[in-house]
Amino acid sequence: MATTAQALTVDPDQQAILKELAARELRSPEVLLRDALDEYFQRSATAEASKTKSTDYANSELYADEPMTDEEIIAESDARYQHYKQTGLHITWEEAEAWLAKLQAGENVPPPECHT
């Protein structure tokens, strides 16, 4: 993939932190910034996709056959939290605990309905 140079202005504190992290991880500041951008783009894409998805999380990527990466799990969790903040839909701990107890007992029951 071709790359292009892009100027980025950071304050002195950010620059110091970036240099310290780069030294600690034995990586260049440019690589750390590219990684940060990639992670941000992934979170943004996941959040955008969640806006158009159904709130039926039974079909979520978390239930896919292939395991998700840590970054994918974090991005999906962030998207779910944003959805909660926008809608207020949730289940209580007690509802989740009761559902999980039924699953553990071998009952094939759907998850509780979300509510506000």
Mean pLDDT of 92-104: 93
For residue 68, tell me if it sits in a domain: yes
**How far is residue 41 CA from its own chain's centroid?**
11
- Quote the percentage of the chain above a pLDDT of 70: 84
Distances (CA, A) of 20 to 9, 26, 110: 17, 10, 49
Quote the domain boundaries for residue 45: 12-87
Supply the angle between the helices 29-52 and 12-25 in degrees, to the nearest 10.
Answer: 100
Render pLDDT for 18-39 as a digit per residue (tens, 0 to 9). 999 999 999 999 999 988 888 8
Domain count, the chain: 1
Q: Which residues pair with 90 in a beta bridge?
A: 115
pTM of the model: 0.43
Average pLDDT over the chain, rounded to an integer:
84
For residue 62, tell me if it sits in a domain: yes
